[in-house]
């Protein structure tokens, strides 16, 4: 049974050319889910955990981009996975067997709040999250479209080696940064900002 399972897994993986392609699939899926989640009635009034939950529901039930990878066990989506030792709960983890965990921390922001750094990004610097990984992500659920440019300046001086002012897969409200962690390793962080209008009242299809 194990041999058969691994053969099926190898066949499924053969659809993808590289680990980067699978990681990019996760980013593409998040961006695609946003296009539907932003139209959920009352989404801007939900707290960050419930907005996160709407993304998880969409990823698992409506997202065609990641559908094949989920069905064939190439990716598993783990919402608020618990590390019992560190007592920490990252918001979203894309578990990619034999490759990596792609971990995201989410924050709902009404302004360029310092907690994006001090209660979010710092968790990767301190190795609370993604301890063994060289890439992870921050997601901002924002209610003000000026927040990304303001936070970019703050991120650039927060344990930052280099700010990479380049969008994630051409998604406008995004950029990258590289940071030094407590154990001197470096980690690449993607920053995705999903804007939710307070006046949006469209019903989800």
**Strand order from edge to edge, sheet including 92-96:** 76-79, 92-96, 100-109, 135-142, 186-195, 174-180, 160-164
Residue 143 domain boundaries: 18-195
pTM for the whole thing? 0.87
Does some domain include residue 91? yes
- Mean pLDDT over 16-27 rounds to 86
- The answer to whether the beta carbons of residues 187 and 124 sit under 8 Å apart is yes
Mean of all residue pLDDT scores within the chain:
87
For residue 11, being part of any structural domain is answered with no
Q: Is residue 102 part of a domain?
A: yes
Is residue 5 situated within a structural domain? no
DSSP state for residue 57 in the 8-state scheme = H
Q: How many separate domains does the chain show?
A: 1
pLDDT single digits (tens) 127-145? 999 999 999 999 999 999 9
**pLDDT, tens digit, 9 for 90 and up, residues 41-88:** 999 999 999 999 999 999 999 999 999 889 888 889 987 654 545 446
Domain-embedded: residue 205: no
Identify whether 9 is part of a domain: no
Q: Does residue 52 lie within any of the structural domains?
A: yes
Give residue 13's pLDDT band: very low, low, confident or very high (50, 70, 90). very low
């Amino acid at each position: 049974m194990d041999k058969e399972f691994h053969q099926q897994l190898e066949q499924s993986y053969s659809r993808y050319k590289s680990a980067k392609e699978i990681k990019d699939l996760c980013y593409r899926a998040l961006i695609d889910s946003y296009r539907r989640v932003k139209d959920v009635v009352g989404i801007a009034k939900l707290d960050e955990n419930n907005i996160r939950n709407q993304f998880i529901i969409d990823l698992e039930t409506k997202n065609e981009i990641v559908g094949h990878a989920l069905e064939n066990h190439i990716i598993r989506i783990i919402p608020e996975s618990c590390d019992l030792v560190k007592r920490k709960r990252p918001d979203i983890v894309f578990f990619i067997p034999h490759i990596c965990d792609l971990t995201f921390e989410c924050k709902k922001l009404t302004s360029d709040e310092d907690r994006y750094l001090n209660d979010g990004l710092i968790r990767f610097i301190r190795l609370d999250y993604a301890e063994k990984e060289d890439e992870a992500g921050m997601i901002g659920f924002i209610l003000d479209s000026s927040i990304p440019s303001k936070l970019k300046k703050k991120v650039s001086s927060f344990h930052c080696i280099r700010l990479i002012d380049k969008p994630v897969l051409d998604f406008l409200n995004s950029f990258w940064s590289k940071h030094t962690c407590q154990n001197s390793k470096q980690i690449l962080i993607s920053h995705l900002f999903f804007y939710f209008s307070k006046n949006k009242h469209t019903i989800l299809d």
